Amino acid sequence: MRKLGILHAILFLVLIIGMPVFGQQAGQPPQYRQAAAPVSVHQISPHVYEVRGGVGANCSFIVGEEEVFVIDAKMNSDSAKEMISLIKQTTDKPISHIILTHSDGDHVNGLSGFPGNPDIIAHANTAKHIEKANESGREKVPLPNETFSDRMSIYSGKLRIDLIYLGPAHTDGDIVIYVPEDQVAILGDLFFKGRDPLIHKIKDGSSFGLAGVLLEIIGLNAQTYLSGHAEPVAKTEVENLYRHITEIQDKVKTMAGEGKTVDEVKKALGISTEQGFWPSLAEVIYQEIAGGGLKSGRE
């Protein structure tokens, strides 16, 4: 049974590697294997809109005084073009900037669908991840032309948009886009609802970092939180995710301290010991606690 599972994983990896950039930018959720819902726009606040459907994660756009700021770019150029068309139906203001929450392909691969040369802003680590993916990707993703390491603010008239880096979490380049006037925070993949968050160790993500980042996010004066793979939520939902992660961390710490293997920990938490395409949150936590010297229970 284990050999069959390994064979399936190898075949899936071969399929993924054959896709441009997609395989290099880890973190594409399984729902993208299904038919995509139509692209649609939903107004969240006076200045902020969310774009759902199409291929790729939820995106957003912020309508400023004279221009539009798009948050993330869908997973392919066709969905990006659909999004652009709907933005143009919503406002006649031009798109001036694209802001990337992080580097996963379902958030950045559609950049090639944007006409002209809009400014692309991202954290410095996100730019590095995209550049690395471009080395092996058949289709190159445009690189950010403006990066920052800690925090920056953009103004459109009196409207302020804060770009905030709080440390490694889902990846080491995730940022929060916060619009104080509207009390809206855009989180990318820092928030998941109904399933455990993904931590991309290949991009130096950290579960303990994510817990700390969520605490900082909870401290923002936001009323509405948008994310890549969930409906808009209130602060209570972010608090629930924080508690969920820290509870799992405490359980894994205890069991790891008792000398349990990672498989024993997963069984105790009701998680399959079959190797999935992405490691479970509990497995990531165990790795972070135990370092490289793990006993898998499969040897």
Per-residue model confidence as pLDDT tens digits over 148-186? 999 999 999 999 999 999 999 999 999 999 999 999 999
Using an 8 Å Cβ cutoff, are 68 and 93 in contact? yes
Q: How confident is the model at residue 116 (pLDDT cuts 50, 70, 90)?
A: confident
CA distance 44 to 32: 25
Average pLDDT value for the chain: 87
Residue 292 has pLDDT above 70, yes or no: no
Q: Which CATH number fits domain 36-255: 3.60.15.10, 3.30.379.10, 3.20.20.10, 3.60.21.10?
A: 3.60.15.10
Considering the entire predicted model, what is its pTM? 0.86
